[in-house]
């Protein structure tokens, strides 16, 4: 293994701290060369920069013109530039660096200290951020992002029959998505950078009235969270399975070959299920594990992934409906808001005004999920183009594996189309080297721009974590309120949920929207990493599940099958019993 990967970024002296926080949810595995450069370097990252400029966190001239330092890629792993993110605290008239760090890291012990830079202070940008903050704290509808939603849905519906396009036409179609990615991620950066504002202000209000739990309770049950939407549809499908002996028997046989078995049935329930499942894939097929990486499978390319989750959801009682859970949280949110309003009113108009503004700002959490979902639809269209290109050149003998197409650099795509046979050995060698990166554990922080050589990175499976014993308490961050006691099921791959079911506690290393269906099959969620704006928390709040994030080492320390008590109000997981 070389000490550097072929698509690694340089580091700079100004923006010198990087973190895997939140990026571990976005790209948990190394990006493929094409995935990184086509999707990120030449699409998403310029939009990330534009979003920072739009909200006033940074100025355009503060970024490298080729590789804007909003992120970094090292060893194929994507890192968020922490130094850059912190400008939202340095230059904000409301949010502090400390509050941002809590939102990103919870109480992680190794967060690099913020060291001011002479160029940090920008009064002109502070004024621009103040204007943006005023918008965040007064806005609950977003016509721009609603329009982008319709645009991306239309893109999926307009997808041509890719098998009929020439190689050149495929590339033209794929390249048409790159400007869309830039614009869509500009929007997403606006919502992401705004998502910590509401919880941050609520934390200050909570401190003022002596109740640190109110931020969690007041951002639950907001509603209209796009990444939770597939879960509601899957719940309805799961009820169809429960009500039909034919569908139940088909699922009992396993998800492999399930759709084929149903297609061969003349039972009306089977046909009805296939029709609705087809509609589900048409709307949500872009989702899946590691959905930001274009070489990854999704619900459309491998339906068994979501069928495996549906197989678990069908065992959940009707009373655990996510709509009912959400309704309970929404009612509790309103009640808590009334209680806090009564407590802050005697403390002055300023605090009361901040509280009301924070309630409005909290809606940015739902906006963030909308802008993210918009991007994923477009990423998926690029994925489907390159999958077709890989398929046909594998069949033609130019590639040893269809996935080798993702080993191309972005600048090599047109060259490959012109002379595909000349790349056979090159991409095969890259694929072998790329898969070696999957065995590495990326450092959670990269400090001062010093990237350790890849040969020094830890390898997966080398953890010295000590299994938790009865009575041990793991501490994390309160996510979605509530308490629950059940058997821990340690799941590392959402497409392989095993016998996860009602009464269980899902313990995961991280989550993205592909995990959402599994949330409905369990009673609580515990995640190794994440802060107040992480996916696990946002979706858990929408679905009404107790959730604890930033429970460091939970998947390594909690034995599978252990009886645990999850107190999501206080961010703890207590081991009550371990399997013998």
| CA–CA gap between residue 559 and residue 148 (Å, rounded) | 44
Lowest mean pLDDT among 93-107, 168-182, 270-284, 553-567: 93-107
Decide if pLDDT at 28 tops 90.
no
Decide if pLDDT at 131 tops 80.
yes
Decide if pLDDT at 224 tops 80.
no
pLDDT value, residue 200? 79
pLDDT over 90 percentage in the chain? 67
Q: What is the mean pLDDT of the chain?
A: 91
Nearest to 132 by CA among 50, 218, 193: 193
Between 376 and 520, whose confidence is greater? 376
pLDDT value, residue 535? 67
Model pLDDT for residues 466-501, shown as the tens digit of each residue: 899 999 999 988 878 889 999 999 998 888 898 898
Q: Which domains does the chain have, with CATH numbers?
A: 473-577 (3.50.30.10)
Q: In which band, very low, low, confident or very high, does the pLDDT at 201 lie, cut at 50, 70 and 90? A: confident
Q: In which band, very low, low, confident or very high, does the pLDDT at 106 lie, cut at 50, 70 and 90? A: low
pLDDT value, residue 559? 94
* The token pair that represents 467 in the structure block: 């299994």
Give the 3-state DSSP-derived string for 69-101, with helices as H, strands as E and coil as C.
CCEEEECCEEEEEHHHHCHHHHCCCCCCHHHHH
Average pLDDT over residues 296-325: 92
| CA–CA gap between residue 27 and residue 31 (Å, rounded) | 7
pLDDT value, residue 531? 63
| CA–CA gap between residue 118 and residue 120 (Å, rounded) | 6
Q: In which band, very low, low, confident or very high, does the pLDDT at 330 lie, cut at 50, 70 and 90? A: confident
pLDDT value, residue 103? 67
Model pLDDT for residues 395-442, shown as the tens digit of each residue: 999 999 999 999 999 999 999 999 999 999 999 999 999 999 999 999
| CA–CA gap between residue 496 and residue 212 (Å, rounded) | 37
pLDDT value, residue 55? 93
Between 534 and 369, whose confidence is greater? 369
pLDDT value, residue 484? 95
Lowest mean pLDDT among 276-280, 284-288, 302-306, 495-499: 495-499
pLDDT value, residue 457? 96
Give the C-alpha distances (Å, rounded to integers) separating 293 from 76, 124, 161, 360: 11, 37, 22, 33
pLDDT value, residue 192? 87
DSSP-based three-state secondary structure for 527: strand
Decide if pLDDT at 358 tops 70.
yes
């Amino acid at each position: 293994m070389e000490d550097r990967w072929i698509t690694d970024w340089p580091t700079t002296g100004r923006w010198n701290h990087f973190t895997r926080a939140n990026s571990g949810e976005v790209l948990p595995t190394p990006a493929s060369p094409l995935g990184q450069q086509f999707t990120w370097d030449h699409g998403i990252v310029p939009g990330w920069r534009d979003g920072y400029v739009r909200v006033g966190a940074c100025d355009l001239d503060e970024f490298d013109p080729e590789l804007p330092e909003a992120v970094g890629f090292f060893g194929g792993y994507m890192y968020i530039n922490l130094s850059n993110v912190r400008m939202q605290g340095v230059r904000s008239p409301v949010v502090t660096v400390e509050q941002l760090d809590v939102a990103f890291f919870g109480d992680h012990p190794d967060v690099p200290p913020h060291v001011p830079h002479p160029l940090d202070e920008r009064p002109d940008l502070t004024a621009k951020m103040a204007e943006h903050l005023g918008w965040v704290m007064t806005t609950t509808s977003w016509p721009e992002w609603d329009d982008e939603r319709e645009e991306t849905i239309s893109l999926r519906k307009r997808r041509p029959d890719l098998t009929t396009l020439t190689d050149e036409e495929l590339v033209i179609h794929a390249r048409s998505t790159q400007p869309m990615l830039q614009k869509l991620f500009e929007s997403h950066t606006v919502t992401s950078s705004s998502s910590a504002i509401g919880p941050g202000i609520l934390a200050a209000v909570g401190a003022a009235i002596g109740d640190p739990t109110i931020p969690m309770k007041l951002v639950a049950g907001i509603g209209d969270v796009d990444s939770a939407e597939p879960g509601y549809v899957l719940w309805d499908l799961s009820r169809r399975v429960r009500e039909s002996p034919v569908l139940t028997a088909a699922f009992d046989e396993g998800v492999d070959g399930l759709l084929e078995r149903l297609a061969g049935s003349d039972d009306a329930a089977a046909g009805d299920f296939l029709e609705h499942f087809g509609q589900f894939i048409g709307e949500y097929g872009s989702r899946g594990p590691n959905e930001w990486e274009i070489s990854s499978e999704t619900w459309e390319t491998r339906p068994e992934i979501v069928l495996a989750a549906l197989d678990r959801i069908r065992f959940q009682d009707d009373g655990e409906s996510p709509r009912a859970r959400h309704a309970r949280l929404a009612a509790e949110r309103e009640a808590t808001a009334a209680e806090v309003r009564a407590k802050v009113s005697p403390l002055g108009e300023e605090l009361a005004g901040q509280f009301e503004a924070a309630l409005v700002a909290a809606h940015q959490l739902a906006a963030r999920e909308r802008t993210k979902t918009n991007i994923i639809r477009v990423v998926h269209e690029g994925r489907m183009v390159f999958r077709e290109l890989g398929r046909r050149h594998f069949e033609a003998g130019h590639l040893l594996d269809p996935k080798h197409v993702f080993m191309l650099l972005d600048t090599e795509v047109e060259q490959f189309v012109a002379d595909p046979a000349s790349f056979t050995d090159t991409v095969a060698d890259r694929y072998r080297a790329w898969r070696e990166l999957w065995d590495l554990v990326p450092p959670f922080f990269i400090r001062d721009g010093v990237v350790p050589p890849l040969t020094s990175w830890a390898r997966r499976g080398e953890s010295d974590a000590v299994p938790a014993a009865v009575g041990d308490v793991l501490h994390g961050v309160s996510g979605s309120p509530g308490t629950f006691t059940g058997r821990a099921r340690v799941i590392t791959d959402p497409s392989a949920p095993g016998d996860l079911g009602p009464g269980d506690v899902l313990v995961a290393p991280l989550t993205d929207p592909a995990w959402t269906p599994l949330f409905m099959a369990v009673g609580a969620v515990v995640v190794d990493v994440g802060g107040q704006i992480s996916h696990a928390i946002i979706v858990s709040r929408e679905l009404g599940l107790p959730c604890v994030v930033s429970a460091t080492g939970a998947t390594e320390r909690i034995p599978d099958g252990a009886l645990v008590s999850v107190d999501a109000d206080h961010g703890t997981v207590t081991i009550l019993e371990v399997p013998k």
